[in-house]
Amino acid sequence: EYELCEEWGHLYPVPREDLINLHREHLLHLLEMGDMEKALKLLQRIEDPGVCLAISEQSLDQHPNLAASHFLADYLTAHFYASLTTARRNEIQALYIGSKVLLTLPELSRVNYVHLSSRPLLMLEQLLMNMKVDWVALAVQTLHQLLAGQEISFTVEDIDSLLSKYAEKALNFPFTLKERRS
């Protein structure tokens, strides 16, 4: 009965923290149900930008499912970019990019990499170490598209450097090949 509680909040004075908690729980419920449209409408109904920012950040910090994290990171970046500290901005953008890369992986395999969603470079490295070359190709393509014109803690050059490092390791043979004589 989130809507009823919201109406009650319009009729009677409700402490700010209680209002934030109500909206956060409602938002998380909508995101768990996969109803991104209603979640967006809920955030748009909140008139106070400070309350909206608090709700969005607290919801993201609850570590919801992958789609919800992606939605919240995108919403925070789009609407509150200037209000966030540089460190928080980088953290949210990394989560956005990491969740986008995760969404390119096969659905059943995402669970193995979801703990790396806020560290896209580490996720890429893990994919390389697991020899998931096709997945790496998709991830690199997605990263190149997302990093175009973005300010974030890593660059396309960092990705290329990582790929070069692992390509070099793949060609490194620890023994010498001896020629057989017949």
The Cα-based distances of 78 to 7, 75, 81, 105, 138 in angstroms read: 28, 5, 6, 25, 25
In the numeric block, the tokens 């990491």 are attached to 98
* Mean pLDDT of the chain, nearest integer: 85
Asked whether residue 182 carries a pLDDT value surpassing 60, the answer given is: no
- The upper half-sphere exposure of residue 118, i.e. CA atoms within 13 Å in the direction of its Cβ, equals 14
Reported as a single tens digit per residue, the pLDDT across 70-128 is: 999 999 988 998 888 888 888 888 888 888 889 889 888 888 988 888 888 889 889 88
